[in-house]
Each structure stands twice: as structure tokens, then as C-alpha cells.
Amino acid sequence: MPSRRQPTPRHAVPRRAGLALLLLLLAGAPATPAAEPAAARAGARGGELLHALDDAVAALAARVSPAVVQIEVSGYGLQADESGEESAYVARQHALGSGVIVDPAGFILTNNHVVRGAQRITVVLASPAGRAPTGADANARRLFSARLVGADPRVDLALLKIDAAGLSHLPLAGDHVVRQGELVFAIGSPQGLSSTITMGVVGSASREVGSPQPLAYIQTDAPINPGNSGGPLVDTRGQLVGINTFIVSRSGGSQGLGFAIPAGLARTVYESLRTHGRVRRTESGLAAQEITPALARGLGLPRDWGVVVADTAFGGAARQAGVQVGDIIDTLDGHPIENLADVTSAVYQHRLGTPVMLGVVRGAQKLMLRVDAPEARQPADQLVDLASPEQGLVRKLGLVGVDVSERLAGIIPPLQIGTGVVVAARTLDGTSVESGLQVGDVIHSVNRREVVSVEALRAALEGLPPGAPVALQIERQGKLAFLAFEME
């Protein structure tokens, strides 16, 4: 959406004043006696600008920091061995991250990787004015248990909810598009140091980084370190322009290459997670790839940049609409398409229940095709559809399971062991043990006792008293692992 120019805040330094200050600092050559009065005036003016800049940044931090939270997570993950590689053992882990309150009713946006595998999520609110609470505020509640409303691993966003109201927040307006060279501020809890603010510039307003999911990120040199993930990136007006998500670094620390999810995309994901608990998207049955000069010459394409259709699924909506392999995708719902990240962004913003309007270039022709794309069904959604809460409930583990069978073909990846119970959903049953199981895990055995059905899983757990050790053999994302805990 187009950027809306807003008046400069009273405390902010105008860009031209900042440029003047920079010129004053660069022109700091020794003054001749005749030039001393002018130099003195310039120095005084420079000091005023420095103080104004100080005041502007301090005011920005005071306004934005109360909406930034620290997130403490305890859960389970694959444990690394001595070489640093993931082993076959799942261990209890603790992690810290950041989040931003986007609604005063207690809705918090963060990264999916911050809360992935979490069993307990604790949100720590910022102290008043960035200080430790004293006096009447000393008993103010700052720690809240959070529940996961929903998450989208593809975009790496998750939505949390705490039982609170009237909180400071940063609205997800999403209507301000940052520009290259613009000043931005990253706020979060790097290394667990809460309410830390750093400043930098936008290196690129739309940077596609090699990743499984092509997205256009905001690139910034504002120092971002482990623990900043999920915190906000704001502009000089204090507007939320992105969610800090990852860095590119050889040392593990900031090296001036930080990346944030644009606020426009974050808003789309947030609205879907809040309404449905998951992100609902269309599935057109179309596969595309970026055009290279060599590919353009080999295929005789009219342009050597952009995105070309590589495949259309048999019986899919794109093929039925007349989309052909070799078509160049020119627009999607009116959005210009220059790379795969543009396709991803347009698909996320498409409104379900309406046709996808696909503009393509085919030879010398420009065509507009109507694609009646259905809603994409994710494996987790299909698992829930197959699960029966009455028949699949395993209360002691707090899950609803589905027997491994031919019904799951195409829903879960091929298994190393052909029998077991798939975790279709987790329950919020307070009587269940914290097992560390995740949706999609396949349970193959309990204490070396083979599990071939939900009934067999219940039977294996039935005779175990409180405090008894439990070792589950599970399969997660194609890898076998052991998960150990004690019955409660």
C-alpha cells in the first residue's frame, strides 16, 4: 500500500537539520581567528541539534518500549551432541525471545521459532518507563502465562494471548512502507537484556534471502542479536514497520545484516491467526521459478527477469483456468510480480472465496486469467479432521491420536517405521504430563513396548504409576528420537 506522509513529531530532528548537523561535524577544520565567531555559532548550533536528537531518540524509546515484551519459553527440542549436530535425543530446553503487544487486550506477536516446541510460555512486561518498579508499582503484575493462539512456520510468526487489558501497544497499521536509507530502531531482549534499543538504517526495503519460503524482508544494520527475535522494528515516528526475525552472521552476533518481516505481511498473518487460529491461503496448483538470463534465452522468453510458470498440477485450479507452463506471471491480484517473494506476499494477501486474477505474458500476448483457487489444506488441518476426540484421546499424554494407516498417505511424510500413533492435536488437560510431544509426531513405542494403535498406547501407559520413567520412541520430521520424562 502507498506510504502516507505524516507531520514530523515535535521532538524529532528534521531530516534537513540532521543533514546540516552532519555537514557541521564533517566541516570541523580548525577555524582562523576571523572565522572564530562563525565557528562558535556553528558549534552552538551543532550542540543544539545533538541535544534535539538525544531528546527525540529518548522520547521514541519511552513511547515504544512499554509495548515490547520478553518471552521466556521452556519446552523440548533435539539435543546437540559434542560436534554441535542434532542428536536423536529430545531434551528439555529454555529459550528467551521478544515480542510486541499489537492489541491492548493482550495479543502479542512474535516469531514462531521463539515458541516452537514450547510447553510453558511466560511473558514479561516492560517495567514502567524502563525502570524496575518501586513504591506503589512494586506489586504490579509483570509476569503472565501465555497461550499460543496460532502460528505460521512458513512466515515464522506466532500469536500469543495473555489475560490482561489496557496494555501499551503498537498497532499493526501496515500502511507505511519503509524506504532504503530510512532510519529504523530495533527493540527487544538480546541475550536476555530487556528493553534494549538499537539504531540503524534500512539497507534494503525488499530483500529476498535464500530460504525455504521466499519472502521479501526488510534488511537493516540496526544491531540485532539472539533474543531480539520477535521484537519490533520501528521508524522515526514510532510506527511498527517490521518484526525482527533473523540475522546473517558467522560469529552468532550482529554483523550488520538483520532481517525483519514487513508489517503489511505481519498484519495479514496476525488477522488470520486471531480469527482462525491458523493462516488460511488459497492453493492454485501452480509451481513457479525465477527467470535467469540463461533461462530466458533457452526458452525464448520476452524478458530475462521475473517469474515463470514451471508446472501446473493435474486437475488443479491453475490448469483448469488455462495457465500454461512457460507463462510469465506479470501480476497477481493487481500486484506487480518481479520475484518469488512477490508471489508469496500476494498469495498471503489474497482474500479467500474470491478468484485469483492472474496476469500472464505468453509470447507477445498479455492475458488476464481467472483462477478459482480453493483453500489450501495443510497436513495439520487434515490430521485434525481425521481425529476423533472421543476415540483418539490419550489423557495421560494430553493428546488426540490417529492410528498410522493408509488414510494418512499424502498427509504425513513416509515413515521409517510403518506403525504407530500420530499426534493429531494437543489438549489442555491439566492432568496430563508434560511430554514434549508436538502435533505431527509419531509414537512408535513406550519403554520398548511397540505401539500400533491408540488403544495400544493407552494400554502401555495404563499401568505406569506416578514417578515411573517413560521413554517414547518418536519420529519427528523424518528422524527417529527418544523422548523421556516421568509420569505425574
Catalytic residues: 113, 156, 229
CB 258 within 8 A of CB 223: yes
For residue 437, give the nearest of 429, 426, 453, 446 by alpha carbon: 426
Enumerate the H helices of 314-378 as residue ranges: 317-320, 340-349
Three-state DSSP at 443 gives strand
Alpha carbon distance 237, 208 (integer Å): 26
Neighbours of 159 (CB within 10 A): 27
DSSP summary character for residue 371:
E
Q: What is the dihedral of CA 431, 435, 436, 441, to 10 degrees?
A: -110
- Region of residue 106 (phi > 0: left; psi between -120 and 50: alpha; otherwise: beta): left
State phi, psi for 461 to the nearest 5 degrees: -90, -20
Please give the distance of CA 88 from its chain centroid, rounded to a whole number. Answer: 27
CB 221 within 8 A of CB 201: yes
Neighbours of 461 (CB within 10 A): 21
Quote the crossing angle between the two packed helices 263-276 and 340-349, to the nearest 10°: 40
As beta bridge partners, residue 96 has: 72
The residue assigned the cell 509420569 is 487
Q: With b meaning 16 or more CB within 10 Å and e meaning fewer, what string describes 349-371? A: bbeeeeebebbbbbeeeeeebeb
CB 3 within 8 A of CB 177: yes
Question: What letter represents residue 115's amino acid?
Answer: V
CB 397 within 8 A of CB 433: yes
Please give the distance of CA 268 from its chain centroid, rounded to a whole number. Answer: 12
CB 186 within 8 A of CB 200: yes
**Cβ neighbourhood burial of 439 (10 Å; 0-12, 13-18, 19+):** middle
Alpha carbon distance 285, 416 (integer Å): 29
> DSSP readout, 284-328?
--EEEEE--HHHHHHHT-S-SSSEEEEEE-TT-HHHHTT--TT-E
Length of the chain: 488
User: Angle CA(126)–CA(101)–CA(399) in degrees, nearest 5?
Assistant: 105
